[in-house]
Chains A and B, each alone.
Chain A
């Protein structure tokens, strides 16, 4: 049993879970949260995560966490993955734990590792400027045996170390490269477009074994997803499980949760997209918690603890073969107009039997909408619940295009 979990990053729902599970914890986060923590009796160590220096480093943080007897570090956000890795290296006396953390923070390194281990990945390359992307697209076109007049092959560029879709650009042509790429995008990873349906897995790992696997079906990346996976994906569950264990073995993950994204082609081939080891976006764990009726955030934290017993594991995680009857899905709502004045919930939604709830916020008068970065800044989420995953897909696709803000 861990003496104390160091939660790397500020998340009220996670803190709430720890309190309810009655587990010892300390929150490590930016000084901004210190006041609130004090007021609410939340054990807290203030740390400037974005600073790395003689006085701000993992050894120093290790010392600061000593009074709390912290012995397990849990990364809640992308930006705290290395910090948690460094601390866990010390706690477990294994320097490679930190190296593994770096693996999650460098998308090129991550892909290379996957490639070595025999996972199917797209063609990828580190690029340093627009010319680099153009050359990459040219070589891809050649490999795809492009004939004059045919469309260019699609290329994605992503920052090496950003969460989810932040900074992700899809480039469909040479002209796109010219128009969409910014100086500040580089260096970054360029990769070929992977065909197929995208989905993610949330694998809770303990002792190097997958103890529970959630599959999240993406209806549209950045907009909507639902849990558990629909019928078709479900029929591939064994295959997915096998690939997942391969990934876990290959990356040497022993404890925690990983959240990779995969593509399933029509020929039933799985391609690896990328993988993270923090709390996934899109309210995925919220949906999983409801669908499987478990404390997903609590489980996320506890799985990081090497000394967790078999009984405790069985208690906190759903059985590996669980298959819920109710599907929970959500769609994130973005305004469609540049200036909005009011929120209108359409009658068809109110009358929809799958509709569960929403947390949309009415805008200010004449609120201007900034262009968005990644898929952040949504105005709220609409949640659905129902028994038929096909109907769920339909609904999520439909509401993505409904304008709630006028």
Chain B
């Protein structure tokens, strides 16, 4: 490819500047470096230019191009920050690209830097590749497209093309598998992210089924693109035609194969609805439980409500609205259909007319709305998913953890209330709540926390969250100024009577300090630790406020999670299992505290931590105030001190600590 930028004198000019830069002393180097960066910025948007800079990276590095910048020491770089830096534009993006080139050169053994081995460099690059798939495949997310200019996009894409060609993708494959596993093991309600990665892998990487990693990636692909042998090389229309030729026994096999594909990662293919609808329409309904992969209990519930559920399926499900089949299957398993109120609510939902503004939000949240599917169908589908996978509810990129936590809690413990709330909100684009004997109407109160909703959410969330968020904020306003954390009153009012009346906060508003932390932890353990609470299990999710800390343990802010249960894991460690609405699989809270999302006894959608590590980040929770006083003395001081140390050495550094005793 001829590149007009790289004329012969490009090299000569670069050399001229490079010489000037090398000869500069520390006094004028920053200024010369800036000019040099300007030149590099223009060169690296073409493969030849980038390669040229790559060939010169060692001498640029030696001349001090990274000196005095955050990129100076490659061993201190953080792969997860690369994406944001690349989006921030020149000169940051330019030096970030240089930094990747330097690491590539280290990985290739072309240069050496103390403290970073070729393996370190290789690992870093692979992490960067995995965290920047949008650039590797040149399919920038919508937000990315908005913030980056064409020139910047070209630069970054050129870089990733370059480094992915020079890096063994085998190892990236391993990270892709890991990434997909981390996402899928949480069984999120929204499946766009994993579908996108799977689609990109399918399109851009050749896989060899004989290789282990490739086979694992193929398994992800298959559950979306060819869930059964019969679906190979057919679109769903041809598949429908084929189904007509199958015998009952063949359909039976097909159903088993289909449900197995779905259950492996919780992903539903477009073929699946075709099969289910075929079974219902051809009066082979007895095969539907097999097709949904139901257990005996689930099958029994199907039989009980067969007619009703068939009607729901026919009115809701479509190849372009397929994912909700997984939610529906989980609803059948959980027994939610046995509740009369739920069936009535769902039946009512089918008759509503969706408010135009809600309709707009729903269609906006649907990546590729299909003309034959109404907003109501999408909303119904999302409702199946939320009701079937309560722990898969996420907040997307919105600061609305409270709302997400509420939807998840109602979905588990008050599904009919949730359905009714969705019905009201979808019809009137409004919601009302009671707060201390007064009404709060979302349409009549001020702004919520989120002003520009990120629409990477399910249809239930886009319907409810804007209103819940406003109601929550209004409750917080009304409860503020009482000298205590307003959540004490807001949580029970927002979430409902499942929330305990007692409220413990480590932070004391009046003294602006952490007061009686020992007492606080005693109450927490007396509430949830089976060893000290009389061997009791938790019943309802407990809305817990936690400090969010960085990988270095520094205080970053506050977050809302729900403590779901405390149990002994297979290693004999007491663990806290909780819902984190941010759906993040790779969390690092510092002090080696890293919540896991699978492999430690988690149910799909749960995060977990050893209980004391979880406790070390809690600042507020609810408890039964009639019980606590009895049990808190059971908690040994040694346990408390272990937690206190972790707390004091992380977020605790941002606070004053007072040892005054409080009455709990």
Point out residues on A near B: beta carbons under 8 Å. 12-13, 15-16, 19-20, 40, 342-345, 350-351, 353, 356-362, 385
Q: Is the C-beta of B1 less than 8 angstroms from some C-beta in chain A?
A: no
CB contacts (< 8 Å) of A15 on chain B: these are: 27
Contact A16 B4 (CB under 8 A): no
Contact A351 B26 (CB under 8 A): no
CB contacts (< 8 Å) of B26 on chain A: these are: 40
Beyond A16-B28, A362-B89, is A357–B5 a contact (Cβ under 8 Å)? no
Contact A362 B91 (CB under 8 A): yes
A361 to B26, CA, bound (A): 21
Q: Which of B4, B9, B28, B36 contacts A12 (CB 8 A)?
A: B28
A56 to B31, CA, bound (A): 33
Contact B24 A357 (CB under 8 A): no
Contact A357 B149 (CB under 8 A): no
Q: Which of B5, B9, B34, B36 contacts A351 (CB 8 A)?
A: B5
Sampled A-B contacts (17; CB under 8 Å) = A13-B27, A13-B28, A16-B27, A16-B28, A19-B25, A20-B25, A344-B149, A345-B41, A345-B42, A353-B9, A356-B17, A357-B39, A358-B38, A359-B35, A359-B38, A361-B34, A361-B91
Q: Which of B4, B9, B31, B35 contacts A357 (CB 8 A)?
A: B35
Contact A40 B27 (CB under 8 A): yes
By beta carbon, the residue of chain B nearest A354 is: B9
Contact A16 B24 (CB under 8 A): yes
CB distance from A74 to the nearest CB of B (A): 17
CB contacts (< 8 Å) of B16 on chain A: these are: 356
Q: Is the C-beta of B151 less than 8 angstroms from some C-beta in chain A?
A: yes
Question: Which of A16, A342, A343, A357 has most B Cβ within 10 Å?
Answer: A357
CB contacts (< 8 Å) of A360 on chain B: these are: 38
By beta carbon, the residue of chain A nearest B9 is: A353
CB distance from A326 to the nearest CB of B (A): 11
By beta carbon, the residue of chain B nearest A12 is: B27
By beta carbon, the residue of chain B nearest A383 is: B35
A361 to B91, CA, bound (A): 8
Instruction: Give 20 new A-B contacts, CB below 8 A, not counting A15-B27, A356-B17.
Output: A12-B27, A12-B31, A13-B28, A16-B25, A19-B25, A19-B27, A343-B90, A344-B151, A345-B42, A351-B5, A353-B9, A356-B13, A356-B16, A357-B35, A357-B39, A359-B38, A361-B34, A361-B91, A362-B89, A362-B90
A360 to B25, CA, bound (A): 22
Q: Which of A13, A342, A351, A356 contacts B4 (CB 8 A)?
A: A351
CB distance from B491 to the nearest CB of A (A): 38
By beta carbon, the residue of chain B nearest A358 is: B38
The 10 closest A-B pairs by CB, nearest first: A12-B27, A359-B35, A351-B4, A16-B27, A357-B39, A358-B38, A12-B28, A16-B25, A16-B28, A350-B42
A359 to B38, CA, bound (A): 6
Contact A342 B149 (CB under 8 A): yes
CB contacts (< 8 Å) of A358 on chain B: these are: 35, 38-39
CB contacts (< 8 Å) of A12 on chain B: these are: 27-28, 31
CB contacts (< 8 Å) of B39 on chain A: these are: 357-358
Contact B7 A353 (CB under 8 A): yes
A12 to B29, CA, bound (A): 10
Q: Which of chain B's residues 1-48 have a Cβ closer than 8 Å to chain A?
A: 4-5, 7, 9, 13, 16-17, 24-28, 31, 34-36, 38-39, 41-42
Chain B 120-164 near chain A by CB (<8 Å), digits 1 or 0: 000000000000000000000000000001010000000000000
Contact A359 B13 (CB under 8 A): no
A40 to B29, CA, bound (A): 13
CB contacts (< 8 Å) of A351 on chain B: these are: 4-5
Beyond A358-B38, A359-B38, A362-B89, is A345–B151 a contact (Cβ under 8 Å)? yes
CB distance from B172 to the nearest CB of A (A): 32
CB contacts (< 8 Å) of B27 on chain A: these are: 12-13, 15-16, 19, 40
A350 to B151, CA, bound (A): 12
CB contacts (< 8 Å) of A356 on chain B: these are: 13, 16-17
CB contacts (< 8 Å) of A385 on chain B: these are: 13
A12 to B7, CA, bound (A): 34
CB contacts (< 8 Å) of B36 on chain A: these are: 357
By beta carbon, the residue of chain A nearest B45 is: A350
CB contacts (< 8 Å) of A16 on chain B: these are: 24-25, 27-28
CB distance from B26 to the nearest CB of A (A): 7
CB contacts (< 8 Å) of B9 on chain A: these are: 353
CB distance from B488 to the nearest CB of A (A): 40
CB distance from B560 to the nearest CB of A (A): 31
A361 to B9, CA, bound (A): 24
By beta carbon, the residue of chain B nearest A353 is: B7
A240 to B7, CA, bound (A): 38
Contact A357 B17 (CB under 8 A): yes
By beta carbon, the residue of chain A nearest B17 is: A357
Question: Which of B25, B89, B91 has most A Cβ within 10 Å?
Answer: B25
A357 to B637, CA, bound (A): 67
CB contacts (< 8 Å) of A350 on chain B: these are: 4-5, 42
A343 to B7, CA, bound (A): 24
A353 to B8, CA, bound (A): 9
A353 to B5, CA, bound (A): 8
By beta carbon, the residue of chain B nearest A386 is: B9
CB contacts (< 8 Å) of B151 on chain A: these are: 344-345
CB distance from A298 to the nearest CB of B (A): 13
CB contacts (< 8 Å) of A345 on chain B: these are: 41-42, 151
A12 to B9, CA, bound (A): 30
A362 to B151, CA, bound (A): 13
CB distance from A289 to the nearest CB of B (A): 10
A359 to B32, CA, bound (A): 9
CB distance from A317 to the nearest CB of B (A): 20
A350 to B7, CA, bound (A): 11
A350 to B13, CA, bound (A): 13
CB distance from B303 to the nearest CB of A (A): 61
Chain B 84-123 near chain A by CB (<8 Å), digits 1 or 0: 0000011100000000000000000000000000000000
A361 to B4, CA, bound (A): 24
CB contacts (< 8 Å) of A359 on chain B: these are: 31, 34-35, 38
A362 to B93, CA, bound (A): 12
A361 to B36, CA, bound (A): 12
A358 to B43, CA, bound (A): 13
By beta carbon, the residue of chain B nearest A342 is: B149
CB distance from A270 to the nearest CB of B (A): 35
By beta carbon, the residue of chain A nearest B36 is: A357
CB contacts (< 8 Å) of B17 on chain A: these are: 356-357
CB distance from A397 to the nearest CB of B (A): 22
CB distance from A359 to the nearest CB of B (A): 5
By beta carbon, the residue of chain B nearest A380 is: B38
CB distance from A366 to the nearest CB of B (A): 14
CB distance from A22 to the nearest CB of B (A): 12
A350 to B3, CA, bound (A): 11
CB distance from A283 to the nearest CB of B (A): 11
Contact A357 B25 (CB under 8 A): no
Q: Which of chain B's residues 370-419 have a Cβ closer than 8 Å to chain A?
A: none
CB contacts (< 8 Å) of A20 on chain B: these are: 25
CB distance from B44 to the nearest CB of A (A): 12
By beta carbon, the residue of chain A nearest B16 is: A356
By beta carbon, the residue of chain A nearest B90 is: A362
A128 to B4, CA, bound (A): 58
Q: Which of chain B's residues 352-371 have a Cβ closer than 8 Å to chain A?
A: none
Q: Which of chain B's residues 188-231 have a Cβ closer than 8 Å to chain A?
A: none
